[in-house]
Amino acid sequence: MSITAHSAPLDVPRGAHSAPLDVPRGLAGVVVTDTALGDVRGREGFYHYRQYSAVELAQNRSFEDVWHLMFHGELPDADRRAAFTARTAALRRLPDGVRDALPGIARTGSVSGPLAGLRTALSLLGAARGFRPVYDLDSQQRREDALAACAAVPTLLTALHRLGRGLKPVDPRDDLPYAANYLYMLTGSEAEPKQVRAIESYLISTVDHGFNASTFTARVVASTGADVAASLVAAVGALSGPLHGGAPSRALDTLDAIGTADRIEAWIRERVLSGDRIMGFGHPVYRTEDPRSRLLRGIAENFGGPLVTFAVEVEKQVEAILAELKPGRELHTNVEFYAGVVMELCGLPREMFTPTFCAARVVGWSANILEQAEDSKIIRPAARYVGPPPPQPVPAP
């Protein structure tokens, strides 16, 4: 695999003594591969899954439709949707060994929560289902492993959450679609259709989003030929970082900290002037409004209520203050700001906000793993050495 920066190839032989590479910190904007899965066009405020607008998919299609699109390259017709939904629903139940191990995983990770427990549980699931390195499998078997992993993640996350609270896990139901079943396993009762549709739209809107840190991590591991579970565990580890997936609950914590409308201006000015980050605002790619935020704001406003009214007012005042204090910078709400509001309105506990994001993104990760597995070239970039000049004599002990 070649790495491209500023449209120039940077093929660096392993171990070669090369000139310094003109690559931006964090690989920002560096193209590392080709993909047919989708793209984020930050200057336009638009992103898509394959050839379709992700926002339009979130508004008009089911989660299973989008899952089928990411794995098979096309939206299903009614018959294929029914077959795919039934097939994935049958994979939700866990192998006995995995189910029996979950109480111990939940107890051990009672402080770190379900997302940390998922890393261990996914490894165990891969072993129990006999996942083998993608390097040794054909495309069909890789897809089978990825389907099994994606279908099991909501079961694992909700079970770990409930066990961590001293509650018995709720078995999945084959007659409920993905989003409705997720909420059922989380709460133990069927959610209202309005809540199901809100969460389903959120899940669809977060299935994939370019080469973010966790997606790239999954592809790096897949490029080694490792199995699907290993690649997903690595992605979950990347997602657990607060700079990546940990913001939905933190954005809601910001609303709590502000408290009332009369405190907004003073609270925000103090944070901005002190250099603090306002959680839920700004995005490394979008230079305009995050389309996911716009989608979720509409969903939240459809619910209405004091929380939504307050969130909209905070957004308005924060953007005005940022425009005043940081002129020339486009800083708007990102997906996390209204994601937290929507999940709160639908009754999800805050510790499950990022795991819920994971229940969606696992499909995008898996699609990227499948695509990467078609390329036998390992991802092996170079680093610029900046230490003391070598070689130096090794001092005697």
How many Cβ atoms from other residues are within 10 Å of residue 307's Cβ?
16
CA-CA distance, 219 to 235, in Å (whole number)? 9
Local structure of 9: helix, strand or coil? strand
Which member of 283, 315, 332, 344 is catalytic?
283
Q: Is 336 a catalytic residue?
A: yes
Q: Is 283 a catalytic residue?
A: yes
Among 276, 268, 63, 73, smallest CA distance to 180 is for 63
CA-CA distance, 14 to 6, in Å (whole number)? 22
Among 109, 294, 74, 276, smallest CA distance to 201 is for 294
Concatenating the DSSP letter of every residue in 292-348 gives HHHHHHHHHHHH-SHHHHHHHHHHHHHHHHHHHHSTT----B-HHHHHHHHHHHTT-
Q: For residue 311, with 0-12 CB atoms within 10 Å meaning exposed, 13-18 middle and 19 or more buried, which class applies?
A: buried
Which member of 64, 200, 315, 336 is catalytic?
336
Which 8-state DSSP code applies to residue 378?
Answer: -
Phi, psi of 333 (to 5 degrees): -65, 145
Which helix (H) or strand (E) is 365 found in, with range?
Answer: helix 353-373
Instruction: Give the β-pairing of 46-49 and 52-53.
Output: antiparallel
Among 240, 227, 65, 61, smallest CA distance to 149 is for 227
Residue 72 backbone zone (phi > 0: left; psi -120 to 50: alpha; other: beta): alpha
CA-CA distance, 19 to 287, in Å (whole number)? 33
Contacts of 311 (CB under 8 A, 6+ apart): 255, 300, 337, 338, 341
Q: For 209, how many CA atoms within 13 A lie in the half-sphere containing its CB?
A: 28
Q: Which residues are catalytic?
A: 283, 336
